[in-house]
Every structure is written in C-alpha cells, then in structure tokens.
Amino acid sequence: MDKGKVYLVGAGPGDPKLITVRGLQCLEDCDVVVYDRLASPRLLRHVKPGTEQIYVGKLPDRHTMKQEEINQLLVDLALQGKTVTRLKGGDPTIFGRVGEEAELLYDNGIEFEIIPGITSAIAVPAYAGIPVTHRDLASSLSIITGHESPDKLDRSIHWDKVTNATGTLIFLMGVSKIGYIAEQLIKHGKPPQTPVALIRWGTRVEQRTIVGTLETIEAIVREANFQPPAVIVVGEVVLQREKLQWYEKKPLFGLRVLVTRARAQASELADQIETLGGEPCEFPVIETIEPSDPAVIELLREQLEQAEQYQWLMFTSVNGVEFFFGWLRKFQIDIRRFIGAKIAAVGPKTAEALAQRGLMAEELPVKFHAEGLLEQLGPQLKAGERVLLPRGDLAREVLPRELKAKGLIPTEIDVYETVLADQQDELALDWIREKEIHMITFTSSSTVTNLLEVLRRKGISNPVELLADIPVASIGPITTQTAVEAGLKVAIEPEDSTLDGLLQAIVDYQLSSKPLQ
C-alpha cells in the first residue's frame, strides 16, 4: 500500500474565514481531519462527505490525547494510505508543536507539508482594536509562551531581556499565571502603570476583553473570573483600543444565531449575520427535492405541455422559480410557449430570481405573502383566466382557494417537495442542548415544525421547553402563527417579510437590548 501524505495546517485564531486558501484546499481534499480545540469546528463543514473526523484537542483540566499519541496517530493514518489534514489553531509553528509532529513523519518516510496560519498573537489583538506594533509606540514584538509553571517560565524566559525589550510583549496561554508574569515584569523594570489587555476567545463570538495595568491586572482577572484561552498584550499599544476597537462594536457582536433554512439557501442569511458581527450556526432542518413519484412527474409534464393555455404564471418562492425552470429543461419545454401569460411574484427575492432569467414580474405586493399578492393583482384578475401555480407540496391553500372564489381557474403543480433534512451538525446540536444559542431564525412554517421534529428525533423529549428562553425571529405572520401554535414565543417579526427585513429587525432588537455605554 502506498503511503499517504499529511498536511500540517494552521486554522487561524478562531474566525473560520481567517483560514488561508491553501489550508481550505487541504481540508476539502483530505480523507481524515485531525483537529484540536482551538480550530473552529465550523471549518469541518468544508470536508467532503465521508471524511473521518478525529478530535485530539486539549482542555485546561485534561488531555484528550497526549502529544506523543497525536504524533503516532498521524503516522498510522498516513501508513494506511490516507491523506491527512492536521488542523491546528493559529499558526502551527508558533507554540503549535508542529516540529515534533513533522519530525516523526520524516522519520517514518511520510511526505508532509506545513501550511502556515494566521497566529492568534497578532490576529486576536487586532480584533480587540490593538495593533501589536505602532510607529510611535512599539517597533518590535516578542511572542512568549505563558502557560508553564513559574519554574519553567523562569527557565525558558530571560525576564531581564524580555522586560527591557522596547516593543510589545505577547503572552500566549498565560491567564492562570498573569499575577506571576506581571510581578516579574515589574521586578525587572517595567513600570507598574504599563497597560495590559487580556482577550479571551479572540475573533469569535465569545470574544471578551479586559484592560488594566501590570499592578492591577491580576485583581481585575480574578474579579471577572476571566478564564483561558486568552492572549495577553503588554505595552503602550493597548491604549490604541480606545479608538481602534471595531469588532466588538458590530451590531450583532456576541450573538450566535441558529439558521434553520435549507443548506442550499442558508449561506445568504449566514453571510449577512457574520458581516454584522454575529456567528451563524447553520442547522438546516428542511431540504427541497424534486418529487420522485412517477404520477406526480407525469402530471407536471402534462400541465407544462399546456403552456399556451395559461393567462398567469404565479410564483410564491425562489424555490418555485428554480425548480420550475429545472423541469422545463428536463421536459425540453421552451419558456416562450408561455407567451400569453403574465407573471406574478410574491416578493422581491422571487422577482429577482425571475429577472435573472430575463422575466419581469408584475408590480410587487406591499405585503409579501399570498394575501398581499391577491390584493395587489385584484383589478387585473378576470374570471375564466387560467393560472399556473408552480409551488412546493406544503404550500398554503390560500392562493388557489381565493383565485377560485374570484372565478379564475388555478392549476397547482408540485415542482418540489419539502422534506425533513437528515444531516445536522452535532456541534450545533450540543449548543442547543447547552443553551449556547442566543437566537433562532425561522423563514417558513416548515422550518418551525421540522426543527421541533429533529430535536425530538435527537432525544429531546420536550424541545419547546428547551427553546423557551431563546428569542425567536420569524420572517412573517404565517411563520409566526406556526411558531406560536407550536408553543414558541416570537420576539421578532419584521414589517417586510424578507431576509433584509428580518436582519434589520434582529439588529434593532439587539440594539434595544444592549445596555447604554
């Protein structure tokens, strides 16, 4: 059997978007990923289906796997012919023990590559508004390990040289030794008033920053019960934070939001949440698929083949548009055969999906649901007109019922089906169980019912009780009604039933909930 290859990859400090392009390629191509605590679990979503995932991270009070065992694990996996990505927090060459792992690979004749990452030593202070160098304040930088015992610290650190360095001092993993570190720096000549900052879980939604001086910082850490992991910054550059902090000022900073949309559609909402400073937790509970029943497919074909008979094409969702055109391609039906049909869309996203195909919808309704569409189109609708409604199998009956009441002839075709998604992120499930989700978003009634069903299937007997204290953001009145009937409390509902409206409503809610500075 040919030997495999090992990629020793720096994952960056926590924000999953800070991984390098090369590091992401290694994740996407590997057979096994071996990761630790400081690498963002969200990066694991980039691995291909079937990739083995092995957690070897260390916690402050226990080691999941000893370093020597990790080294041997990488060798064993490569000897099985597998391509392995060893995902390490920050940069693997800065206190990442990559040298030990690479050396054993070399000794066993296994090919490897070291892929640098953005080190927490510079990224975490930057996210706290602290540049580690500054033309007027610090022209050099020292990165020091701080998690060893005082005896080991004294043996590995020349306090007199470190203290008298002219630039910024960065201590990694030194929270529990902050008092001793401050004491030694003062003892060897640093002024007691030297600014100090500690940044916990930097670049992540849990980021917290405290600031003091060498003489006060130990008491501040103790009073705040400040826990690792954290980066310690010592030097005048800390004062730049007063002007330069940016990440913590984002409107959704500190908010972890559960996104329940189908995976194919979740990225748009997730990206906007992330841009606003929140952390999207993608937990798709629905999936849209083509119908598989031959009878349904044959009915679809028959109705689409009668394109010339329709006076209206009414679309109520982006999915309806996407799947409708998919069926046209499959059945080789030219859209120009619908020459006699006016086109209606229930909302701006649906209209945009049509516009991308060169089709302009009639004037949009003020309220983006079926009732609003009927109200807007009322004067244009004439008895006897035939209407084609390409929809999903769970679509509400309001539109066809009201069209019939007005004397029109609606034809419903199920161009897609909405089913319960069968794959969810276990990390997200843990966050739900541990109540580390700060808000839940629902964009349709099916996301409400399916989330509750998924949680039941995962062993949570009373999901409504579990979610009771988490604010719910609903995209519109129909979804809100479903959530309320299920027993959930909806805190947010936008005036416009769109993603943009939902996001703005979430921002307004957060700003109104935050205490005045």
Could you give the CA distance from residue 197 to residue 211 in angstroms, rounded to a whole number?
A: 4
Pairing of the two strands 230-234 and 195-200: antiparallel
Could you give the CA distance from residue 491 to residue 383 in angstroms, rounded to a whole number?
A: 41
In the chain, DSSP finds a helix count (H) and a strand count (E) of 20, 22
The per-residue DSSP string of 126-188 comes to HHTT--S-BTTTBS-EEEEE--S-HHHHHHH--HHHHHT-SSEEEEES-GGGHHHHHHHHHHT
Whether residue 509 contacts residue 492, with contact meaning beta carbons closer than 8 Å, is answered with: yes
Write the DSSP symbol of residue 411. E
Q: Which of 5, 15, 88, 173 is catalytic?
A: 173
* Of residues 268, 201, 177, the one with CA closest to residue 499: 268
Q: Which of 3, 58, 82, 250 is catalytic?
A: 58
* 177 given a catalytic annotation: no
Q: Which of 5, 15, 36, 439 is catalytic?
A: 36
* 58 given a catalytic annotation: yes
Q: 318-331 vs 294-305: helix axis angle to the nearest 10?
A: 80
Q: Which amino acid is at 422?
A: D
What is the SS3 assignment for 121?
helix
Write the DSSP symbol of residue 90. B
Could you give the CA distance from residue 289 to residue 448 in angstroms, rounded to a whole number?
A: 19
- The C-alpha angle 478, 481, 486, rounded to 5 degrees, equals 135
Write the DSSP symbol of residue 233. E
Where in the sequence numbering do the catalytic residues fall? 36, 58, 173
